[in-house]
Amino acid sequence: MSELLKFSLAQARNALRAKAISAKELAQAYIGAIERLNPKLNAFITLTPERALADAEKADARIAEGKAGALEGVPLAIKDLFCTHGIQTTAASKILAGFKPPYESFVTNRLWQAGAVMLGKTNLDEFAMGSSNTTSAFGNVINPWGSNLVPGGSSGGSAAAVAARLCLAATGTDTGGSIRQPASFCGIVGIKPTYGRCSRWGIVAFASSLDQAGMFARDVRDAAITQTVISGHDSKDSTSSPRPAPDFEKALTGNVKGLRIGIPEEYRVDGMDGEIAALWDKGIAWLKSAGAEVVDITLPHTKYALATYYIIAPAEASSNLARYDGIRYGLRVTPQSGALQDLYCETRAAGFGREVKRRIMIGTYVLSAGYYDAYYKKAQRVRYLIAQDFRNAFEKVDAILTPTAPSAAFAIGENTSDPIAMYLNDVFTVPTSLAGLPAISIPAGLSGKGLPLGLQII
């Protein structure tokens, strides 16, 4: 492995600024690594090596002029759910075939303005619906920890690319766990910020009241550096927070003395894997020995979170995905009948995969007259109660520690025939999403089989 690939993002940033390395040689090292490993991992849908080299040349010029941005010359990968100007954006769906956005998402624009280098667009579950990256129309991603293992999802390509050192950091999106669970499965850091912290403008919408952008990196400092760049107000997203974004790197004091950490009893779910319970206990012991105060808390509505999420998220998805009609962009199937209604039906039947169709059907059902009150409205009420649980808990504690996922990475093909089993992966991540809270997954240990396990700090 090239020595250049061993740098952390912070080290690379500093070496670039000190002109100890050039952005061009760093970009070349990553392009080489991708050429070697991506055919095995399938982490990228689109590669942009020419763009990367052009970005790197510009970065070297700016460094020479003493005008380096926060990420000048740092090679990154972008989840293929972020619109990138003139570069195919697929959401891992056939229905967006040929779509080249005429604009750039807010988050990726921030990265390029800070001098980052674009390596390519990463694979994901179709429209970010899934926990295994096996619903992608571009084939599944392989977890770098084992050739038969899923990387988690939906941001599986980004997580695998960071873990395999095919980029220094990558963007993800998290609606119900899509950054945190793959970070846990691949042994890296993944942060889902507070809802409203990063603009959703230019991100292909899944469930708009839940979707948030965030970063994957190999350590907390690298996550903090990149997360600072993509955070902040955007007038084009009405849910974007007007509060100024903090400098997350400066906030890393390394000190947890006196912090009160809540342990929610409801997360000790029935049948919790012994390894996961042991990991959680280890995390509690670490925090105690570092001077934190550990407090038992209760989040009584936790058991309704999965059901609530799997009503609200599909409802919003069914509405958001109505725009893929075969008329304005993407795939179009011309029906034999020549009828407009058949064009819609045949395009959508051919363009969407099974899981996306399932979500659209569930969502349409829970929103339909006669069922709206029983499902959608009730789910919104329970969502309020879940958020209220957290508000009460945060009267007593500063943060909450839980496992990120109920297991280590599972095998490709496992859970795919049983959607409920797949949805159970999100048991620890969806409550935070419903409450709009920030949460991070930190690599915390290895399973008996030597696979990474993460802990979640809310």
- From 40-48, 171-179, 271-279, 289-297, span contacting ligand GLN (CB under 6 A): 171-179
Output the smallest distance, CB 360 to ligand GLN, in A.
13
CA separation (Å) from 43 to 111, 191, 210, 290, 443? 20, 19, 25, 37, 20
Which of 22, 38, 154, 199 is in the footprint of ligand GLN by CB under 6 A?
154
Of residues 412-441, those binding ligand GLN (CB under 6 A): 426
Owner of token pair 């609200």: 312
Tell me: cis bond preceding 93? Omega within 30 of 0 counts. Answer: no
- From 174-182, 273-281, 327-335, 403-411, span contacting ligand GLN (CB under 6 A): 174-182
Q: How far apart are CA 123 and CA 455, in angstroms?
A: 24
Q: Which residues neighbour 90 within 8 Å (Cβ) at sequence distance 6 or greater?
A: 45, 46, 80, 96, 97, 99, 121, 137, 138
Lookup: tokens for 23: 């952005």
The amino acid that residue 193 corresponds to is P
Strands across the sheet with 212-217, in order? Answer: 44-47, 117-122, 75-79, 169-174, 212-217, 189-192, 439-446, 452-457, 399-403, 260-264, 293-297
DSSP state of 250: T
Of the residues 154, 158, 318, 441, which is catalytic? 154
3-state SS assignment for residue 223:
helix
Which of 42, 108, 123, 131 is in the footprint of ligand GLN by CB under 6 A?
131
- From 97-105, 111-119, 172-180, 242-250, span contacting ligand GLN (CB under 6 A): 172-180
Of residues 79-98, those binding ligand GLN (CB under 6 A): none
Does 190 bind ligand GLN (CB under 6 A)? Our answer is: no
Nearest C-alpha neighbor of 181 from the set 432, 416, 352: 432
Output the smallest distance, CB 231 to ligand GLN, in A.
19
How would DSSP label each residue in 118-164? EEEEE--SGGG--SSS-S-TT-PPPPTT-TTB---SSSHHHHHHHHT
Length of the chain: 458
Q: How far apart are CA 53 and CA 31, in angstroms?
A: 9
Which of 175, 231, 308, 407 is in the footprint of ligand GLN by CB under 6 A?
175
CB nearer ligand GLN, residue 108 or residue 175? 175
Does 240 bind ligand GLN (CB under 6 A)? Our answer is: no
Of the residues 132, 178, 199, 240, which is catalytic? 178
Owner of token pair 């809270």: 437
- From 16-24, 105-113, 122-130, 387-395, span contacting ligand GLN (CB under 6 A): 122-130
Does 356 bind ligand GLN (CB under 6 A)? Our answer is: no
Strand partners, 268: none
Output the smallest distance, CB 380 to ligand GLN, in A.
17
Output the smallest distance, CB 313 to ligand GLN, in A.
5
Structural contact between residues 140 and 122, judged by C-beta atoms closer than 8 angstroms: no
Does 177 bind ligand GLN (CB under 6 A)? Our answer is: yes
Nearest C-alpha neighbor of 126 from the set 86, 157, 171, 163: 157
Of the residues 79, 158, 199, 240, which is catalytic? 79
The amino acid that residue 444 corresponds to is A
3-state SS assignment for residue 187:
coil
Which of 176, 283, 353, 452 is in the footprint of ligand GLN by CB under 6 A?
176
- From 2-10, 110-118, 169-177, 253-261, span contacting ligand GLN (CB under 6 A): 169-177
Output the smallest distance, CB 317 to ligand GLN, in A.
8
Which of 204, 313, 321, 444 is in the footprint of ligand GLN by CB under 6 A?
313
79: annotated active-site residue: yes
Which of 72, 174, 275, 316 is in the footprint of ligand GLN by CB under 6 A?
174
Does 129 bind ligand GLN (CB under 6 A)? Our answer is: yes
CB nearer ligand GLN, residue 174 or residue 234? 174
Does 316 bind ligand GLN (CB under 6 A)? Our answer is: no
CB nearer ligand GLN, residue 59 or residue 213? 213
Does 128 bind ligand GLN (CB under 6 A)? Our answer is: yes
Which residues are known catalytic residues? 79, 154, 178
- Site residues (vs ligand GLN, CB under 6 A): 128-131, 154, 174-178, 206, 313, 426
